[in-house]
Amino acid sequence: MIILWTDALIYLLVFSILLSGFFISRKPQLKRPLRKITISKTGMISLLVLVFFIIIGLLDSIHFTETDSRTHEIISVLDYWAKPLRTQSEKTYSAPFSAYLYSKETMTLEDGSQQWGYPRLKYGGSHLQKPATEWKADLLYKSFIGFSRGASLVILFMVLLWSFLHDRHKYFLKGPTAKVVWFAVFLLISVSYMLIYLSAYYHVLGTDKVGEDVFYQAIKSIRTGLVIGSLTTMIMLPMAIVFGIMAGFFRGWVDDVIQYVYTTLNSIPGVLLIAASILMVQVYMSNHAEDFNSLIVRSDMRLLFLCLILGVTSWTGLCRMLRAETLKLREMEYVQAAQALGVRQGSILIRHILPNVMHIVLISVVLDFSSLVLAEAVLSYINIGVDPTTYSWGNMINGARLEMARDPVVWWSLLASFVFMFSLVLAANLFADTVRNAFDPRRAEQGE
């Protein structure tokens, strides 16, 4: 097993989330809001979608060297399972579920004569004898088989769960949102099983310019999106919170210094900094070629630095907001009461200021998350984003620029990246909304 830099950070993140979950479950007043989340339907469904994305991202973060290949390529567990998708490349574009190529070329027929037309694909729909007549029926039949297999899998799992848990964990099965959530689980797993089943026979989302499966690209991009969203946030958040709260609370020279730093940083165009640091990393890597011998290690390094520099350039906005809010909060009477009680300033910051700015942090983090995924797309456009060999929605959208200008239009790359990005960002937004409502004691009581 090989642990890349971003992998390590992802493990760290997951570990700290689990740890804080453990802490929360031990405190009764923090457990109450968690219950509140389980009551909200949108909250639970968006959590489900998020977890689904995260599982795919985690599977894609366990890397090892492929032993049976000659090249000793580094691949992830996801790559290993999706081997057919990864290796079965066509010649060039093909539409979703199509059995033919998307562009005409000269073909040599069996009788030796030559014809100008759409050739059959090497893999997609190759099991069909006469695609023109069989295609529709086969597609429906295979979808049905895939869906029902997935469905029976879920039902089997649910029956097992029921028989094990039915008297101990009633909440799982009979809670207020249990029906909706289990239905969503059912739908999600059945549909994804269906897609996986279909992808063995067809290119579900078509192929791109060099004939690679777009479905595979979109799935591989999940990890990139999550890494950029979460690692950047992890870098930016501590800076924004610590500096913002300190500037607002202590005022005086602390405030002056912090303000000076962020106005300076803000006045340098972010793109310039990003370009500079990415170029620096590239130069460093080409000077130390022996340490970065594999393509995937190099692109991983570049991704890590992109997160780092995005984090460094994007904390100022949140910092300013937190400073303003802290300026307001420090004049609140409960802060003064705490001072009168002889509470130390550090405790006041942690106990009185921090919890009362968390709602701002949560909202802006989720909004930033979506804008970071988009920023990655924009940066890829001017070639300072992730490595061109890294699968990312940004790279897909960037490629789609030319595809949209083509006639007939190749729309599936754009659509695939859009749908995946949209569902991730939407789920994150809705879930954050639920969390914010649940943890605000004044709102929590009003209920749904």
Partner 1 sequence: MEKKLLEVKGLSVAFKDEKVVDDISFEVYSGETFALVGESGSGKSITALSVLRLLPTNAEVYASEITLNNDNLMSITEIDFCSIRGKRIGLIFQDPMSSLNPVMTIGEQIAEVMRIHFSYTKAEIETAVYELLQQVGIPQPARRINEYPHQLSGGQRQRIMIAIALAGKPDLLIADEPTTALDVTIQAQILELLKSIQQKTGMALWLISHDLALVSNMADRIAVMQQGKIVETESTKVFFKQAKHPYSLKLLAALPSMESCVNKELKQTVATEPCLLVVEDFKVYYPIRKGVFKRIVDYVRAVDGVSFHLHKGKTLALVGESGCGKTTLGKGLINLIQSISGRVLLNGIDLTDLRGDTLRKKRSEIQIVFQDPFSSMNPRMLVGEIIAEGIKALHPEIGLVGRQERVADLLQQVELPLSAALRYPHEFSGGQRQRVCIARALAVDPKLIVCDEPTSALDVSVQAQIIDLLKKLQRQQGISYLFITHDLAVVAEIADEVAVMYQGKIVEHGEVEQVLTHPRHQYTKTLLEAVPKMVN
335/421 with CB nearer partner 1? 335
Report the nearest approach of partner 1 to the CB of residue 78 (Å).
40
Report the nearest approach of partner 1 to the CB of residue 24 (Å).
14
Residues 246 and 382: their CA atoms lie apart, in Å, by 37
132/341 with CB nearer partner 1? 341
| Residue at token pair 């429906």 | 140
126/336 with CB nearer partner 1? 336
106/446 with CB nearer partner 1? 446
342/408 with CB nearer partner 1? 342
Residues 78 and 219: their CA atoms lie apart, in Å, by 9
Residues 175 and 166: their CA atoms lie apart, in Å, by 12
Report the nearest approach of partner 1 to the CB of residue 67 (Å).
54
Q: How many other C-beta atoms are found inside a 10 Å radius of the C-beta of residue 293?
A: 8
Residues 6 or more apart whose Cβ sits within 8 Å of residue 303: 6, 224, 227, 228, 386, 387, 390
Report the nearest approach of partner 1 to the CB of residue 33 (Å).
11
Report the nearest approach of partner 1 to the CB of residue 344 (Å).
7
Report the nearest approach of partner 1 to the CB of residue 440 (Å).
8
Which of the 8 DSSP states describes residue 119?
A: P
- For 21, half-sphere exposure in the C-beta direction (CA atoms, 13 angstrom radius) is 6
- Terminal CA-CA length for the chain: 47
68/445 with CB nearer partner 1? 445
CA dist list (Å): 402 to 201, 209, 399, 416: 28, 10, 6, 16
Tell the burial category of 395 from Cβ atoms under 10 Å away from its Cβ (0-12, 13-18, 19+).
buried
Report the nearest approach of partner 1 to the CB of residue 348 (Å).
10
CA dist list (Å): 356 to 26, 447, 448: 22, 20, 22
Q: How many other C-beta atoms are found inside a 10 Å radius of the C-beta of residue 250?
A: 15
29/129 with CB nearer partner 1? 29
> Rule CB under 8 A: which residues touch partner 1?
28-29, 332-334, 336-344, 347, 351-352, 355-356, 441-442, 445
How far is CA 130 from its chain centroid? 40
Report the nearest approach of partner 1 to the CB of residue 101 (Å).
58
255/403 with CB nearer partner 1? 255
Residues 14 and 230: their CA atoms lie apart, in Å, by 11
Q: How many other C-beta atoms are found inside a 10 Å radius of the C-beta of residue 227?
A: 27
